[in-house]
Amino acid sequence: MPPTLQAHQQHLATLRAAALRAADPAEAVRGNLKPADVAEVERVFIVGAGKAGAAMAQAAIEMVGDKLVGGVMAVPHLPFPSRRPPEGGRWARGESEPLNYFQGGHPLPTEGSLAAGRAIAELLSQTTPRDLVLALISGGGSALMELPKPGLTLSDLQITNHQLLKCGATIHEFNSVRKALSQIKGGGLLKLAAPAQVLGLILSDVVGNDLSIIASGPTVETANNTSPLEIIERYQLTAALPRTVLQILREPSVPIRSSISQSVFNNRLIASNRHAGEAAAQAARELGFTVELMGDDWQGEAREVGARFAQKLLAVHRPSSPVALIAGGESTVTVRGAGKGGRNQEAALAAAQVLAGHPQIVVSTFGTDGVDGPTDAAGATVTGETAARARALGLELQTFLENNDAYNFFAALGDLVITGPTGTNVNDLLFGLAY
């Protein structure tokens, strides 16, 4: 099976398509929301946030029926682009659409994110014990939906988020700080919804599928295991954060349970990286590859993850015996340069170094949401010839890696993976093909 450029691109496209079908948010809702969930309640409210929010909401509307009173969803892209929303990112519901949609920000919150949080709080102020709040949560919800604690401004949140993104903090550390600054994260949505019942349908974008981490756990009553102040000090961010943020982080936390003791709530994981990886693996088998699934918990610095994955692929490569390795997870990037890129692109760039001189090896990285860092790419594809092709164009791979400039490196080679927003988000996937 010769690894022609056209062949491996077709194989990778097949794997990506299979993974995205398995993570389809609308089908995940249809498969997990049961008639019994709404049979005994009088009214249903739909609220939530995330990159998969629009598709999840449409599926939920179909299943809830006449009991739906209305709802609010915070999404990165409004589902009705032909109708211009008013200022603030809102598309108001009408006769044919029972929900209000708000266009929030990602990876940093915006005025639209705050408008969504306020609208959710206002809507849920009218619930009773006979109601059900259906919370639809997916990756990206932390930034898309926000209701800051009193005294905090949008600028305070943006500065804090930017510093945490830049320093290389893990998603657990990142969300630990964000929860402490919010009235809607860390179980805050349960407090807003009380005394209604709450059912959370959650599509995971975090390694290990910890529901308290996904979108900062708006429907999960948990305490931070690590003090947010310890995290700030660990990354030496004290001087970089607003004084109001530090003041709130020093305040003792109040358990959510104290205000929702009589409420009933439940959460269901409806799709994850593992589901997507298994579907891609089956697609690879159908293409004739021997497949090894390497887990959904790959974490760490992106360049280290990419190099380690490429080394594993080289180790299992046997001529004339096509092998596919598939791994999932989410890496981080500690930004030291002034370039442009994302974790998937940086992982691919590091893999290209390891693969140099091995033309029968292909590695492709892929953010399942279609977005990798502040770019229009989902990831990148490299082979054993990538480094040589770059040198022929006068591009030194190591220089781009040191400058965190993977995007411009791959743009010059035409090796970016560009899918556009996919409407779902279950972490990242690494595909390795050895021919």
* Whether residues 108 and 9 fall in one domain: no
As a whole number of angstroms, the distance between CA 57 and CA 135 comes to 9
Query: How much is the pTM?
Result: 0.81
Q: What is the mean pLDDT of each run of 10 residues along the chain (435 residues)?
A: 69 97 96 95 97 94 93 89 45 61 93 96 96 96 96 96 88 89 95 95 92 93 78 94 95 69 79 97 97 96 98 91 95 92 98 95 96 96 96 97 98 97 93 96
Give the per-residue pLDDT at 84. 44
Burial 183-195 (b: 16+ CB within 10 A, else e): bbbbbbbbbbbbe
- Distance in angstroms (rounded) separating the CA atoms of residues 411 and 431: 20
Same domain, 430 and 369: yes
Which pLDDT score is estimated for 359? 87
DSSP letter (8 states) at residue 114: H
User: Of 219, 245, 271, which residue is a domain's last?
Assistant: 271
CATH code of residue 394: 3.40.1480.10
**pLDDT recorded at residue 206:** 87
Residues 98 and 194 occupy one common structural domain: yes
User: Are 256 and 280 within one domain?
Assistant: no
pLDDT at 319: 81
Q: What pLDDT is stored for residue 3 in this prediction?
A: 54
Number of domains in the chain: 2
The answer on 219 and 176 residing in a single domain is yes
Same domain flag for 258 and 295: no
Same domain membership, residue 284 and residue 254: no
Please calculate the CA angle 14-19-22 and round it to the nearest 5 degrees: 125
Say whether both 315 and 265 belong to one domain. no
pLDDT score, position 96: 55
Residue found by looking up tokens 């948010």 in the block: 25
Q: Is 340 helix (H, G, I), strand (E, B) or coil?
A: coil
Identify the domain containing residue 31 by its residue range.
24-271
CATH assignment at residue 38 = 3.40.50.10180
Cα gap 305→327, rounded to integer Å: 10
Residues 287 and 210 in one domain: no
Residues 249 and 323 occupy one common structural domain:
no
User: Does one domain contain both 263 and 288?
Assistant: no
Residues 377, 240, single domain; the answer is no
Q: Which of 231, 251, 271 is the last residue of a domain?
A: 271
Residue 100 pairs in a beta bridge with: 72
**Segment 243-263, tens digit of pLDDT:** 999 999 998 877 766 566 555
From 210, 237, 271, give the residue that closes a domain: 271
